[in-house]
Chain A
Amino acid sequence: MVDHAGHVYLPGELICNLKESEKTSKILVGPGLRQDEESIIVTKCGLLRFKEPNFYWIDSHLKRYVAVKGDPIIGIVAAKAGDVFRLDIGSSDLATLSYLAFEGATKRNRPDVKVGDIVYAKCMVANKDMEPELVCIDSNGRSGGLGVIGRDGGFMFQTSLNLIRKLLSSDCILLKTLGNGMHYECAIGMNGRVWVKAKSVSHTIALCNAISAAEYMSNEQIKAMCKKLTNALAGF
């Protein structure tokens, strides 16, 4: 039943009495849950979440990223090999990004990417048996913000994956409240990496520390912290 949702489950525990969808009597299980013959077993420790009509998954605290199709990711170019770039995305394998997967790139017109640059890309191919593949264009051939970032400043830092999910959820007011106090640009990668750029070095550093510190904070605490931050920065 829906009462299950919001409780902590440990691996090895069985979940029963899940709510099925009315149309097809099927239950969709997501990350952290596995079907074992007739029953559903938990494989990761975390909170059970439920979304209408029949979607269950486990929300766990993770630091290590496992590539998932469709995720926007920030990768660091580790090597150039033939026609592809090899990027470090924090998972067990290096991901590949083809030269041609950039907006306006052709065989003659190669994109200007050096080793050590950071790239905001989308994951196109991701399964457990293969290396992940990334692209910097959408299906229409436009970049839509993807591509090399960080050329003109800003700082990138690493956080845990659940902080990323929290930042991107509609309930969290951190990014909006910070935006009320100062101008900044940010790119959030689902692999735990965040790139931010503000007016000055001290603003950027303050922003990084504020985002990292918000991991365990509630909305009221976030509001209080942002107020303190903007007051302190106004004195600069």
Chain B
Amino acid sequence: MRETPLSNCEREFIRKALGERKRLDGRQAYDYRTLKIAFGYDRGCCRVDLGQTRVLAQVSCEITSPKQQRPSDGVLFVNVELSPMASPVFEVGRMSDQGVEINRILERCLKESRCVDTESLCIIAGEKVWQIRVDVHVMNHDGNLIDCSSIAAITALAHFRRPDVTVDGTDVIVHTIEEKDPLPLSVHHMPICVSFSFYEQGKFLLVDPSDKEEKVMDGKMVIGMNKHREICSLQVTGQMLLLKDQVLRCSNIAVVKVTEITEWIQKALENDRQARSNGERFGFREAVVMDTVTTNQMNPEKLK
């Protein structure tokens, strides 16, 4: 499908507004949009809203044989799907350039930073290991898909519980939830990507660009970092030259943002954990705000 083209009028206005250091939604240059995290009923299912951008992530596991080079390591597989729901431009099946870029950035950020301990996923070395699969579905595209997807992916990994296994010689017994409590994944640290968009040939930068701001930008930088100030990935794209102190300034901003976001994720995980252990209701239903015109609820009467 075709996307509405960005008119010259809009492009010039946004550039002029950025020249006066003003954003369309009234944010400051380094402000993130409102971040909302909701967990589903299943373990490892979470939905993240960054402003209007919405992303759903689900973690699942299955037993497979390990890679030949690493016989005692489990496998982590990340897949980001740009669903046609998110934008009329995205198509099913074919992975566009943007899709490939997001997939690679997230793979580098999560897999190669070793945030999940893959050695603990080994069941029988050389024969059976756990394969952890993270599926990220983008549901609404309003800019900054990378940040939103990385927050969703790492939150879902921290939320997930895998079944407990016992190894009896060469037999592997997978216990159901009723037999034994499932175990959390061993997550060493939480790498989160922070995106910066550049304007005026690299002189002015914005954090968390919205869709329209992304369309007029000169270039982009994505820094994947955890709260221990370790940079896990760094990627710069676009037609501009960046000065060294710009890059350093961005990494300092990223430190602040990542600390805030990690705290927010921990709080959300804690709330969900308490709701589950106190026997309260949990799931997407609890995240719905009821007193708006757009939501409705019905308790039907019994029929017979």
Contacts and interface: CB of A to CB of B under 8 A. Distances in A.
A201 B8 contact: no
A150 B17 contact: no
B130 to A, nearest CB: 44
B20 interface: yes
Given A154-B13, A205-B17, A117 B22 contact: no
Contact of A156 (B9, B16, B26, B293): B9
B22 A202 contact: yes
A209 B9 contact: no
A40 interface: no
Given A202-B22, A216-B293, A156 B7 contact: yes
Contacts of A201: 13, 16-17, 20, 22
Contacts of A154: 9, 13
B24 A205 contact: yes
A67 to B, nearest CB: 15
Which of A117, A150, A195, A208 is most buried by chain B, counting CB atoms within 10 A of its CB?
Answer: A150
Contacts of B286: none
Nearest to B6: A116
Contacts of B10: 155-156
Contacts of A209: 25-26
A117 B8 contact: yes
Contacts of B111: none
A150 B26 contact: no
A114 interface: yes
A76 B4 contact: yes
- Chain A interface residue count: which class? 20 to 34
Nearest to A155: B13
A90 interface: yes
Interface in B2-32: 2, 4-13, 16-17, 20, 22, 24-26
A76 B5 contact: yes
Contact of B5 (A116, A149, A151, A202): A116
A88 B16 contact: no
B16 A114 contact: no
A31 B13 CA distance: 36
A153 interface: yes
A88 B5 contact: yes
Contacts of B9: 117-118, 149-151, 153-156, 195
Contacts of B22: 201-202, 205
Contacts of B8: 114, 116-118, 150
B11 A116 contact: yes
A153 B5 contact: no
Interface in A72-100: 76, 78, 88, 90
A231 B12 CA distance: 28
Nearest to A78: B5
Contacts of A88: 2, 4-5
A118 B5 CA distance: 11
Interface string A161-202: 000000000000000000000000000000000010000011
19 contacts: A78-B5, A90-B4, A114-B8, A116-B7, A116-B8, A116-B11, A117-B7, A117-B8, A117-B9, A118-B8, A149-B9, A151-B9, A153-B9, A153-B13, A155-B13, A156-B7, A195-B9, A201-B13, A201-B16
Given A116-B8, A117-B9, A155-B9, 15 more contacts: A76-B5, A76-B7, A78-B5, A88-B4, A114-B8, A116-B7, A117-B7, A153-B9, A153-B16, A155-B13, A156-B10, A205-B17, A205-B22, A205-B24, A205-B26
Interface of B: 2, 4-13, 16-17, 20, 22, 24-26, 293
Closest 4 pairs (CB-CB, A-B): A150-B9, A116-B8, A155-B13, A76-B7
